[in-house]
Structure 1
Amino acid sequence: MRYDLIIFDNDGVLVDSEPISNTILAAYLTELGHPTSYEDSLRDYMGAAVHRVHDLVMERTGRSLPADFDDTLHARVFAAFERELVPVAGVPEVLEGLRSEDIAYCVASSGSHERIRVGHRKTGLDRWFPDEIIFSAQDVGRGKPAPDLFLHAAERMGVDPSRCAVVEDSPLGLAAARAAGMDVYAFTAMTPAAQLAPASGHFSKMPELRALLGQRDGDRSTHR
Structure 2
Amino acid sequence: MSASLDVGLVVFDCDGVLVDTERIGPAVVAEMATEAGWPLTADEVRERFLGRPESYLYTEIRAHATAPVGPDWLDAYRVRVRDAFTARPHTMPGVRELLDALDGGAVPYCVASSGGHERIEHSLTVTGLWARFTGRVFSADDVEHGKPAPDLFLHAARTLGVPADRCLVIEDSPAGVAAARAAGMPVIGYAGGPTPRTALADADHGVIEDFADIHPRLGVPLP
TM-score normalized by the length of structure 1? 0.91
Equivalent position of 1:192 in the other structure: 196
Match for residue 214 of structure 2 among 199, 203, 209: 209
Match for residue 88 of structure 1 among 86, 92, 103: 92
Amino acid at match of 2:97: E
Could you tell me whether the CA contact under 8 Å between 1:107 and 1:133 is conserved in 2?
A: yes
Equivalent position of 1:155 in the other structure: 158
Query: Structure 1 101/78 Cα, relative in aligned 2: closer, same or farther at 3 Å?
Result: same
Superposed, which structure 2 residues align to 1:1-16 within 5 Å?
2-16=6-20
Amino acid at match of 2:168: A
Superposed, which structure 2 residues align to 1:160-171 within 5 Å?
160-171=163-174
Q: Hey, what's the Cα distance between the residues in 1 that align with 2:70 and 2:120?
A: 24
Q: Hey, what's the Cα distance between the residues in 1 that align with 2:208 and 2:155?
A: 26
Partner-residue secondary structure (3-state), 2:23? helix
Equivalent position of 2:126 in the other structure: 122
Q: For residues 126-146 of structure 1, give each alpha carbon's deviation from its aligned partner in whole angstroms, at most 9, with x where no partner exists.
A: 13111x100000000010000
CA-based RMSD: 1.7
Identify the structure with the greater helix proportion: 1
Q: For residues 191-212 of structure 1, give each alpha carbon's deviation from its aligned partner in whole angstroms, at most 9, with x where no partner exists.
A: 2222111211110012212223
Q: Hey, what's the Cα distance between the residues in 2 that align with 1:128 and 1:16?
A: 17
User: What are the ranges of 5 or more consecutive residues in structure 2 without an aligned counterpart?
Assistant: none
**2:105 pairs with 1:108:** no
Q: For residues 89-140 of structure 1, give each alpha carbon's deviation from its aligned partner in whole angstroms, at most 9, with x where no partner exists.
A: 110110011111111100000001110110111101113111x100000000
**2:138 pairs with 1:135:** yes
| Runs of 4+ off more than 3 Å | 57-64, 212-215
Match for residue 41 of structure 2 among 33, 37, 46: 37
CA drift of 1:84 comes to 1.4
Partner-residue secondary structure (3-state), 2:133? coil
Equivalent position of 1:172 in the other structure: 175
Q: Identity of paired residues, percent?
A: 41
Q: Hey, what's the Cα distance between the residues in 2 that align with 1:83 and 1:197?
A: 33
Could you tell me whether the CA contact under 8 Å between 1:45 and 1:53 is conserved in 2?
A: yes
Q: Hey, what's the Cα distance between the residues in 2 that align with 1:57 and 1:214?
A: 44
CA drift of 1:55 comes to 2.8
Q: Hey, what's the Cα distance between the residues in 2 that align with 1:53 and 1:65?
A: 12
Equivalent position of 1:55 in the other structure: 59
Query: Structure 1 202/61 Cα, relative in aligned 2: closer, same or farther at 3 Å?
Result: same
Equivalent position of 1:221 in the other structure: none
User: What are the ranges of 5 or more consecutive residues in structure 1 without an aligned counterpart?
Assistant: 216-224
Is 182-191 or 147-156 further displaced after alignment?
182-191
Q: Hey, what's the Cα distance between the residues in 1 that align with 2:184 and 2:36?
A: 39
Count the aligned residue pairs. 214
CA drift of 1:31 comes to 0.8
Equivalent position of 2:81 in the other structure: 77
Could you tell me whether the CA contact under 8 Å between 2:17 and 2:170 is conserved in 1?
A: yes
Q: For residues 156-208 of structure 1, give each alpha carbon's deviation from its aligned partner in whole angstroms, at most 9, with x where no partner exists.
A: 01000011110000000000000000000000122222211121111001221
